[in-house]
A and B are shown apart, each in its own frame.
Chain A
Amino acid sequence: DVKVTQSSRYLVKRTGEKVFLECVQDMDHENMFWYRQDPGLGLRLIYFSYDVKMKEKGDIPEGYSVSREKKERFSLILESASTNQTSMYLCASRTGLAGMYEQYFGPGTRLTVT
């Protein structure tokens, strides 16, 4: 079974703090994704990585950055956390094989910025 894990289930940070959210997958997947989930807005893509050190902006990258130094690990960074970044953050991964599009999600990190 594919296993995608996230470093924290719940996180509380103060405005202005630098926040790191970590995601690890154990299936040697090439592609990894960060989404945020808000009620009524669904899952919105923040950033995406298709290889080590490679990244692509999603639909809402403002206020976020990412790092992928190793294939199994994809980090989401909030340089200066703000209250409007309070949300559920979901990581996902997918193989790079052509035509294989199923994404596997982690359990999520609920981040509260006060």
Chain B
Amino acid sequence: GENVEQHPSTLSVQEGDSAVIKCTYSDSASNYFPWYKQELGKRPQLIIDIRSNVGEKKDQRIAVTLNKTAKHFSLHITETQPEDSAVYFCAATTPNHRAGTALIFGKGTTLSVSS
């Protein structure tokens, strides 16, 4: 089945710096790659996603890139702010997963932005 690896597990940056989180996946049939943000004590919420027919997607200060050949995708946050501090999860889904199209998550990255 699908396996998603996420790095780094923790990331500390200064306010205004950029942050990059990387994920790799194992199933070449995967076709959807979301990123979820989970603030302390809250539920995970989708912040951006990308499909396998697209190489890059941007939404204001966040962007996601996908390299299908290498089977990896990355989250880029520019001009980080203290409110970006949270746990970020990448995920992948494949129609052929034995559980249907459930999302398989990475282990998460704790991002800390200090002012």
A-B contact pairs, 12 of them (CB 8 A): A31-B100, A31-B101, A31-B102, A35-B105, A45-B103, A45-B104, A94-B101, A101-B32, A101-B34, A101-B103, A103-B46, A106-B43
Q: How many Å lie between the Cα of A90 and that of B38 in the bound state?
A: 12
What range describes how many residues of B lie at the interface?
Answer: 20 to 34
Which B residues contact A (CB, under 8 angstroms)? 1, 6, 9, 32, 34, 42-46, 49, 89, 93, 98-108
Q: Is A33's beta carbon under 8 Å from chain B?
A: yes
Q: CB within 8 Å of B: which of A40-60?
A: 40-45, 48, 50, 56-59
Q: How many residues belonging to A are interface residues under a CB distance threshold of 8 Å?
A: 24
A8 → chain B, closest Cβ, in Å? 15
Q: Is the interface of B mostly helix, strand, loop or mixed?
A: loop
Chain A residues 1-53 with CB under 8 Å of chain B are 31, 33, 35, 40-45, 48, 50
**A102 sits at the interface (CB 8 A):** yes
CA A102 to CA B101, docked complex, whole Å: 10
B105 touching A43, Cβ below 8 Å: yes
Write the nearest CB–CB distance from A98 to chain B, whole angstroms.
10
A residues in contact (CB < 8 Å) with B: 31, 33, 35, 40-45, 48, 50, 56-59, 90, 94, 101-103, 105-108
Pick from A41, A48, A101, A105: contact of B107, CB under 8 Å: A41
